[in-house]
Amino acid sequence: MGDTPALDTALGIATLLSEHWDAIDADFVRFYRLDLESACFGPSHAGLRRLKALIGALPPESALARAMGWSWSDEREMTATLVELLHDQVTSSRALVSAFTGKRFNGPPKPLRWPRPTLNVSTTPKTSEPAPPLDRQSIRSILVR
């Protein structure tokens, strides 16, 4: 990126806005009651520092978080794991009851595996420019500087 941290931040935010304008625009309306176009280019624009703060503070349920693959929080992961474990416990209980009652049990069905989101990362690098950061930690490091 650029020579200074401020330029790096500006380029990072510009890249993020150009790639995810619609999602960020929807989030600004939903969470901040702000028009993104006015916040970026209007006569009383928000400024780079404020834009960085607003984008960085978007919650995991934001459209940007879904677009970037960040919406899968620790709470959702723990809930999915608990659902899978509960299913395994119910299957084990059914097998135990069947053994005590003498009824035939055909065995457990396939284990339940709750679908997890996948991170959409391109495997082909761009040769003309370095690829913009796509993972959550890289984006946060740009926005938190």
* Residue 71 CB coordination number (10 Å): 16
* Residue 86 C-alpha from the chain's centroid: 26
3-state percent breakdown (helix, strand, coil) of the chain, nearest 5: 60, 0, 40
Residue 1: predicted pLDDT: 44
Q: What is the mean pLDDT of residues 109-130?
A: 65
Write down the domain spans for the chain. 5-71+134-144, 73-115
Residue 133 has pLDDT above 80, yes or no: no
Q: What is the mean pLDDT of residues 120-142?
A: 57
* Residue 24 CB coordination number (10 Å): 24
pLDDT tens-digit readout, 36-73: 999 988 888 888 889 999 998 998 889 998 888 777 77
Whether the model clears a pTM of 0.75, i.e. scores above it, the answer is no
